[in-house]
Structure 1
């Protein structure tokens, strides 16, 4: 591979407009090596100059590196200039904007650049006082009547990444066509070095966090508080807020994984700081066993996701799947819902999640909507504005249990509600596993699983999707299936037959394909639950094997 003049010139132009000395030096070293004939440097330079980061899940995410195809100060400043232009075009000139951050590498500088760029553009910028959970930003937008909120975070991505998450005036993630509008505004923005910045923004005190915590005190509906909890923040920013939220609600018997409690951008004890990843919850479950906990809670690093762990009859522990947690909390919320305050309630989940929520909702006489994957669609379910929404979840550990306050996934509020449920069950001599059995007897066995193969060559993702469209399977897990292509609305394939379903799509944030599997089997009588679950387990294993073969996983 040789360095082409077009790539060389693009790198020189970017360097001329670079505002950060360290990033400039980093890119200069790579360019010099590429000009010297080093093929690896040419490839690296081409990757960094491949194009601007695209707006995916509510904003930007990418590797920390110099160049337009990375998260760096120049990209953040030009992105914010584009957001400012979008706000002006949306009749929000001069409005309030909330800015927050997590504790990742680069987050503090990116937060300052974001606030300074917006302030220079004439906005009333209010910055959260310290690294705080992402849900606090969404809450602050609604609480303070802001026009937008921005959280600098890469959520549960690897330590080498960072990101830029944007909320609109409703405190919801942006949805099409806003991303395209902002991308156009970014493309038209001045070079980063020429974008004005001003340190005229203000820093909030603790009043927003205090209001958020007071709101969480309204969530539990039960009266029991005897519960021993083990928890981890996975080196993120959620531990202090979780501890205080549980304390205020009477759940004081809490043990945190000490090695993972304080924010640490190097994530030293986990390969991927995502509760879904194998091994990520190992230290949590060890602590839960050691302290004889009733329940375990894992937050992702920005605390917008919540995973639950439970003890098994043999004394071991396991983490619940996102669909299991969604079914439990959805059922609990609907069974305690004030129907006078919510006369026409709506719940929502995604096409990639378990379909059990629809059955639970029907039992309670509640509307249920299935949306595309992602909370930007879930909170707009039903009539397009989420009118009447009281609960939403997706299988990837995203739970929204108080949409009127935080119109996005919120791991802290979900943890509070989970403690309320677990304590109520404990007082009656029951467990979360017992509650899952009761749901299965009433609604049937709904088993879900997922595959998420990671690809070094990202172009292989599009190739596989094209191959599946051209030659879809006709049988999965011994069942005849048909394929629904959800283009142009979504790059998703839904392959389904009697009692089996596989939904396949590219990830919006990582170089992965994601496959969501479901098997459904009715339970005729309570004493048939064990046999029904065993049969469903076997069919799910067959489905996983068949889909793995399709994806080369």
Structure 2
């Protein structure tokens, strides 16, 4: 272990992380050293993500250089003309993002690969757009998205503009392992200047011109008086989101001053994720103080969008990701005849129900926006209208093959004005959809266990070994097992599925309820997604109350059953 640490210090270009290991040795903190050298950060379809620090199990300059060398070698071996096509590299405002991006660019140019490097902080969707714009072989975005401040990450896009999927993830991972044992190429200033170009305002302008074309509704004079409160949550969204809203005609946009500038320490939020309790407090308070109609938030790299809207009693309430997705989907389906929509298996079923009514193609994919983008591209003859995942990720049209919080903020604001012009606020529009299709209410809960006692493994195996045909007292109609690739019915029928294998079980209950169970890929926990369907036959408020009670009962009962199974 200490020999590995010594070898690491010899390769590490950063004196800060070299000293970090030396200090651990000096303090004889061998447990911490062992944790740092227990393996390597796993490279997968989401790239890399981890806590900043020294050692191969942390995010640091050496890990980034080795990763970039592996990526570059993989591109040279698998993409014709990779050197000339090049790689787009962008970065957000997190700690070490700029340094990691510059190291990435130097390693790639050291391999003779052209690089388009962002000249300043930029949102993730701009990197995805720039990749298509330049016709590059791949893209790298240095970001940890909405993770805590001590994290950073390295997200990889393929030449088609979408995040990587198998087999590229495993191929790049293998190349990284080889690079970690070899000398790392690193361009000198002359070589870097020859092969590196910088992108910034010009690409922003082209991207924003395309964002303007994504409007679903005609311009309205009402926009200039429609007040919006917005926060980039210490991230990189402010410049382009504010610009998008202004260019769309919104004149009353107030931005949370404490959160407007990028700050990798995220000083005003405990967790820079709009879904977390308290994260939207400042923007909702600002919205109330300025009499806004909407409160919008980007996550730190601006690929996700959170929405809160004023209720009838005056306070602001956050919409669930599924609610925002359904609002977008409804408008896209009724305005873009024959265009496809897509979502993931853990998002609400309602988008598929609506698509069927409108006669539109509908795709359902594994969790992760990369699957939505790749599925859309698998049908080149079918125009793509909209895709979303319940974790606040949305894209309208085919401009960006990933989540796009910039265009989503602008388009949602435009839709909200169109509803207001027709006499409905956001909540009234949700009620309109609920009355037409029924209330599809979703919830999520996770069971955390001690990783060392194998409880997660036992739980996962236990469910498959004894598939329950009654859950929370409700009969199960069918069970989908993506690991086995089957859907099994209560009467014994078995249907083969056409989805990639994944450790996911779905229980379809009588009455329309659904439970999805899967182990987390990064934490010792089982993630459970719930959805119930409540028709609206009479009073809307009564139906909503019934739906909430039914969902809560289902969640509590199922969680107790899982807990008993784990023990």
TM-score when normalising by structure 2 = 0.89
Q: 1:258 to 1:97 in 2, by over 3 A?
A: same
CA positional deviation for 1:268: 1.0
Distance 1:14 1:456 in 2: 31
Distance 2:5 2:438 in 1: 58
- C-alpha RMSD of the superposition: 2.1
CA positional deviation for 1:285: 1.3
1:389 equivalent in structure 2: 384
Within the alignment, does 1:154 sit opposite 2:144 as a pair?
A: yes
2:497 equivalent in structure 1: none
CA positional deviation for 1:487: 1.2
2:480 equivalent in structure 1: 484
Matches within 5 A, 1:509-528: 512-523=525-536, 525=537, 527-528=538-539
Distance 1:456 1:274 in 2: 25
Give yes or no for contact 2:234–2:261 (8 Å, CA) kept in 1: yes
Secondary structure, in 3 states, of the residue corresponding to 1:180?
helix
Distance 1:549 1:196 in 2: 55
Secondary structure, in 3 states, of the residue corresponding to 1:328?
helix
2:172 equivalent in structure 1: 182
Which of 363-372 and 382-391 deviates more? 382-391
Distance 2:346 2:420 in 1: 31
Give yes or no for contact 1:117–1:198 (8 Å, CA) kept in 2: no
Secondary structure, in 3 states, of the residue corresponding to 2:443?
strand
Within the alignment, does 1:138 sit opposite 2:132 as a pair?
A: no
**How many residues align structurally?**
533
2:327 equivalent in structure 1: 328
CA positional deviation for 1:283: 1.2
TM-score when normalising by structure 1 = 0.92
Give yes or no for contact 2:65–2:184 (8 Å, CA) kept in 1: no
Give yes or no for contact 1:56–1:508 (8 Å, CA) kept in 2: no
Distance 1:61 1:385 in 2: 31
Distance 1:512 1:130 in 2: 38
**What residue ranges of structure 1 are gaps of 5+ in the alignment?**
1-6, 35-40
Distance 2:319 2:180 in 1: 48
CA positional deviation for 1:29: 1.9
Within the alignment, does 1:53 sit opposite 2:41 as a pair?
A: yes
Specify which of 333, 341, 351 is matched with residue 347 of structure 1: 341
**What residue ranges of structure 2 are gaps of 5+ in the alignment?**
485-500
CA positional deviation for 1:473: 4.4
Distance 1:92 1:461 in 2: 45
Give yes or no for contact 2:88–2:127 (8 Å, CA) kept in 1: yes
Within the alignment, does 1:495 sit opposite 2:507 as a pair?
A: yes
Give yes or no for contact 1:74–1:192 (8 Å, CA) kept in 2: no
CA positional deviation for 1:461: 4.3
Secondary structure, in 3 states, of the residue corresponding to 1:519?
strand
1:38 equivalent in structure 2: none
1:273 equivalent in structure 2: 272
Specify which of 522, 530, 533 is matched with residue 544 of structure 2: 533
Q: 1:463 to 1:428 in 2, by over 3 A?
A: same
1:210 equivalent in structure 2: 205
CA positional deviation for 1:474: 4.2
Secondary structure, in 3 states, of the residue corresponding to 1:108?
helix
CA positional deviation for 1:322: 0.4
Q: Deviations over 1:312-358 (max 9, x none)?
A: 11111111000000000111122222x4xxxx421101110000001
Secondary structure, in 3 states, of the residue corresponding to 1:188?
helix
Give yes or no for contact 1:477–1:540 (8 Å, CA) kept in 2: no
Matches within 5 A, 1:9-408: 9-34=3-28, 41-90=29-78, 91-94=80-83, 95-191=85-181, 194-199=184-189, 200=192, 201-220=196-215, 221-224=217-220, 225=223, 226-337=225-336, 339=337, 344-381=338-375, 384=378, 387-402=382-397, 404-408=398-402
1:412 equivalent in structure 2: 406
